[in-house]
Amino acid sequence: MKGIRKTLAIITGKILIRLSKILGNQGTDFPGKIARRIYPEILTDLSENITDEIVIITGTNGKTTTSNLVASILKEKNISFVHNTAGANLITGITTAFIKDIDILGYREFEYAVLETDEANVPLLLNEITPGLILITNFFRDQSDRFGELDKIITLIKDAVDDKPIDLVLNSDDPLATSFEREPSLSTWFFGFDNTIYDTKESVDIREGRHCIICGQELIYHRFHYEQLGKYKCPKCKNKNAERNFTVHDFKLAPNIELKVNGTQFKTNFQGFYNAYNILAAVSLTKLLGIEIDYIVSAINKYKPQAGRMESFEINEKDVVLVLVKNSAGFNQALFSITQDYDSKTIFFALNDNSADGTDVSWIWDANVEGIFENNNAPTHIVCTGKRSGDIAVRFKYSGCSENKITIEADLSNAVNLAINSSLKKVYIICTYTALFEVRDILIKMQEQSTGKSKIDEKQYQREEV
């Protein structure tokens, strides 16, 4: 009976995946949801087909890019693996990922599973599968209406991994991650940065990590990379950056990222400091899996950012960059990247407040928007759209942008056209989650009409509620 229900769940899931794609969706969540109703143990059963290692990648920012980089490295070496692609990071989406690749009887083996998951989903996932490695990218305040305070999320993950034979891969530069090092049952590995030319002695961006997570004393920062990431020490309990196993040095944004990890040179297609952390995280994880460095370098150097993670388009001989933001830390990093660009530019911002975005958009006031108007290369045209277009327009106005440079357009397609058809050389398209894929589809069509270049094969980066 158990075997029949398992097979029925797999067949039903596969049919629903197929039907969903025929209807123009990606079939990443609903098939897993129905399959789990038919056979609730399906994820546990199918995960037992992983022969080498299950790895989980979580954290506030960067988990999608990091997991996609890890997947590309495994693919470079022709390793078989299960992977839930961008955004399908709840337990139903992860279940669908296994169903999609498994055979009908559920016995096909894979060497690895690379599972990106929402921070709050970690305990649920660990109830059903047994990973060998968990990588946590960072902790930033994010969608407080969904996740609550940061200490709640950190405690949630800490309790979930307690007394389990799991290796944790952590960000040494994040003071909120250091408490894991003191858990006697856990094995920990750390990655981080040496000093960089972009560091500052003070930070106006820091919102978290001001105080020691161990004793509560205010931390002393010697330098900031960005937000609370940097070199810190607690004067009371001596808590400080954990000793690094993987270190970035010789880091340049020129504008694409060039860096060395433990002496190995990478020349990438990525932009932005935060993507340098994603690269470092992916290198650290795959090195721990035993992947040879030549495969890692080759995969990362040729990887092109996708799904709105500083994704590039060419439209009407204009460079267009699509950027997903969902919290003040990500917004600050997008703005920092824009300040590094000296071309004349338009900023487009689609701000929504749907449940997947987080209904509280007050984080736009926590970001240092003022910073981009303090330079000679400030944007000279701002297009605001989305359900909360008025809020983001007001935010730009109070950051120092003249009203006559701000346009509010309710229709998304019209707003994209306004931004693209301006006389300025560069366009940065910034979106919150639920606007991202609709805007991306518009940009894909515009690029196809403009250049004949197609991105249709990349539509596997689906729209999935997080």
Alpha-carbon distance of 249 to 247, in angstroms, equals: 6
Alpha-carbon distance of 65 to 296, in angstroms, equals: 15
Structure tokens at 258: 């060039």
237 is in an annotated binding site: yes
Place of tokens 């079939």: 27
Alpha-carbon distance of 136 to 186, in angstroms, equals: 14
Structure tokens at 255: 């504008």
Q: Supply the angle between the helices 273-288 and 63-76 in degrees, to the nearest 10.
A: 50
Alpha-carbon distance of 101 to 79, in angstroms, equals: 14
User: Pick from 140, 159, 166: which is nearest to 53 by CA?
Assistant: 166
Choose, from 360, 391, 441, 457, the residue flagged as catalytic: 360
The answer to whether 189 touches 171, Cβ cutoff 8 Å, is no
Alpha-carbon distance of 328 to 173, in angstroms, equals: 18
Q: What are phi and psi of 191, to 5 degrees?
A: -125, 155
Q: What are phi and psi of 376, to 5 degrees?
A: -70, -20
- Whether the bond into 175 is cis, omega within 30 of 0: no
What pairs with residue 313 in β-bridges?
320
401 is in an annotated binding site: no
CA-derived radius of gyration, the chain: 22
Query: Whole-angstrom distance between the N-terminal and C-terminal Cα of the chain?
Result: 34
Alpha-carbon distance of 466 to 460, in angstroms, equals: 16
Alpha-carbon distance of 139 to 176, in angstroms, equals: 7
360 is catalytic: yes
- Find all residues with CB under 8 Å of 81, minimum gap 6, and list them: 71, 74, 75, 110, 111, 112, 113, 114
Annotated binding site for Zn(2+): 212, 215, 234, 237
Q: Catalytic amino acids?
A: 360
Annotated binding site: 212, 215, 234, 237
